[in-house]
Amino acid sequence: MSADRAQYAGNEVTAPDAIAALGGHPLLPNRGVPLELNWIQEVRANTSAVERRTQSQVARRTVKKEWQAAWLLRAITCMDLTTLSGDDTDERVRRLCAKARYPVQQEIVEKLGIAGLGIKVAAVCVYHTFVETALNALDGSGIRVAAVSTGFPAGLSPLAERVAEIRRSLEAGANEIDVVITRAHVFGGRWQALYDEIAAFRQACGPAHMKVILGTGDLLTLRNVARAGLVAMMAGADFIKTSTGKEATNATLPVSLVMVRAIRDYAQKTGMAVGFKPAGGIRTAKQSLDWLALMKEELGRSWLRAELFRFGASGLLGDIERQLEHQATGRYSAEYRHPMA
């Protein structure tokens, strides 16, 4: 292990403790590191190079037939099935949870011969109000319940209120918390304030997984995205997430590439692994394959698991199910045959 890695990771990481590997080196879960302003200032992002890389990936990476079906099933297992609408109801959440348990229609499952795989989504993501409803509907399934928090989606309520909101969702039984940063800290280069804010969220989350939403559509530049992601990881984020799904621009491949490479750099320097969650605007099965390929090429196979990769999605599952039905029957069905809730 290099001196930089040893500075943060302490002793050499042992395989039983590892949650991922990069370049043959096992990685620990992220526990955060002290804020390093020099590291943040050194961050760069070459926009034209990033765009060329993502454009070439989409053009040259494709999978077909049974291989495509296998990748799409993996996408389902890495999905946070989400409903975050102003007109959400308990009944809608219960229907969504039923879909989370059985994301692919039984007829398709039988035709594909995948009944033994027990395919289900990773989590259901809801507002705090519906945490208890989701927990009851998912009882015994192993599917986690994620709650959006900290003044979602703007993140502009007082810090004490945002921390209290985290604690209320945890008391209600949420397994994961998706938190929102103050974007103004990024614009002003107030990295200590951003670090302290996220560290306070981390402390409030306790053992629950914390996903830090950067709001990349609001951050204006790829350099801002990379810097904000790095600060979030230093402060103890388990995941960094692109968007709330409410911005004008949500998850894009260029933004995702910058965030994934920040995760890789952090892992190489600290010996700790952080997950990635693109959210908002990913609606087609083909797009899900693009993101899975990005993860595999940039971080490796160990990141292709729900522990380290999630799609924040509501409409994506329907198109994946249609593609799987085509694989099973040779025919495409209408979208209305694959309702979410």
| Catalytic machinery residues | 178, 241, 277
Alpha carbon distances (Å) from 235 to 141, 191, 262: 32, 11, 14
Cα dihedral 243, 244, 248, 252 in deg (nearest 10):
30
Note whether 272 and 25 are within 8 A (CB). no
Centre a 10 Å sphere on the Cβ of residue 81 and count the other Cβ atoms it contains.
Answer: 27
Q: Which residue has the tokens 């810090």?
A: 159
Q: Name the pairing type of β-strands 25-29 and 20-22.
A: antiparallel
Residues 256, 326, 281, CA angle at the centre, nearest 5°? 25
Q: What amino acid occupies position 222? A: L
Alpha carbon distances (Å) from 127 to 43, 79, 85: 34, 17, 9
d(CA 132, CA 75): 26
Centre a 10 Å sphere on the Cβ of residue 336 and count the other Cβ atoms it contains.
Answer: 7
d(CA 168, CA 311): 25
d(CA 67, CA 43): 37
Residue 3 φ then ψ, to 5°: -60, -40
Kindly state the tokens that stand for 89.
Answer: 């109801």
